[in-house]
Amino acid sequence: MKSGFVAIVGRPNVGKSTLLNRLLGEKIAIVSPRPQTTRTRILGVWNGPDVQLALFDTPGLHRARGELNRRMVDVGLSTLSEVDVALLLVESGTGPQGRVEVGEATAWIVREVARSGKPAVLGISKMDRAPRESLLPVIAAYKDLHAWTEVVPFSALTGENVDDLLRTLARLVPESEQPLFPPDVLTDQAERQIAAEYVREQVILKTREEIPYAAGVGVEEFDESERETGQHGLVRISATVFVERESQKGIVIGKRGAMLKEIGTAARAGLERLLGCKVYLQLHVRVDKRWSERP
């Protein structure tokens, strides 16, 4: 039996959450086109024949400003010290004239991975978006920055080469007498927390550029008393969307409540698939000017 912890790290929006969801076959981590969607580390447990991988999806590493962003980066960096293997994701594709520029932010992340002293795999993500010939310049640009245990191109969106990535990670985690988690454990995220994230995801997707970084979601009520009532089981959820300004509150609510209704409808559909029952979702919006600056 082999089992161990793996940290999935990288810059914002390189596909960390999409990879975790692909591996688990469930949407545990929310995704959006906006960077820094993930705000905390999320555990996902993958089980294979005689192997268990406990994978941490982490917030995107970046030069942080503001209390919320600094906390997100601290979470990502501290996770590196707690795992058996580091998986650093970078994107496939090249720039003008086929060049690959390794930016200072990415070079800094590579140094942090090296400083952790953990076996490190370089995952070249989104290979479905770039011609195959563009992979070689990417590999060449990164291969001398660190003594990578393995370099694996893959696509979390299509699943291509994800099995190769799993085999690589399984080979690197230590032997153990028993799994780290029972086989029925999928994540450490409570359903209540996942519900809040599903709502926040829809706020990001529906309001596009206007709101994402200013919004947080808290769940006040998660009532399961009617959940085990056959095909018509029901979970009642009441949640509040926090924004920083009155103008943002108006955007989230929309004209005659249309935007808030749209957010709630989309979030509820996802929650019903995840929870396997009907969901009654009630949303409120509240202005809390400094919520993102408080520890």
Q: What is the CATH number of the domain that holds 103?
A: 3.40.50.300
Number of domains in the chain: 2
Which residue among 143, 172, 201 closes a domain?
A: 172
6-20, 69-83, 189-203: least confident range: 69-83
Does residue 195 share a domain with residue 132? no
Q: What is the three-class DSSP state of 86?
A: strand
77-100 b/e (C-beta count within 10 Å ≥ 16 → b): bebbeebbbbbbbbbbbbeeeeeb
Give residue 63's pLDDT: 66
Does residue 104 share a domain with residue 34? yes
Which residue among 141, 172, 203 closes a domain?
A: 172
Give residue 46's pLDDT: 97
- Name 64's Cβ contacts closer than 8 Å, sequence gap at least 6: 70, 72, 73
Does residue 221 share a domain with residue 158? no
Does residue 206 share a domain with residue 143? no
Does residue 14 share a domain with residue 155? yes
Tell me the residue range of the domain where 215 lies.
Answer: 191-293
Residue 214 has pLDDT above 80, yes or no: no
Residue 274 lies in a domain: yes
Does residue 203 share a domain with residue 111? no
Residue 224 has pLDDT above 80, yes or no: yes
Q: Which residue has the higher pLDDT, 51 or 69?
A: 51
Cα 232 to Cα 85, 148, 277: the distances in Å are 44, 52, 7
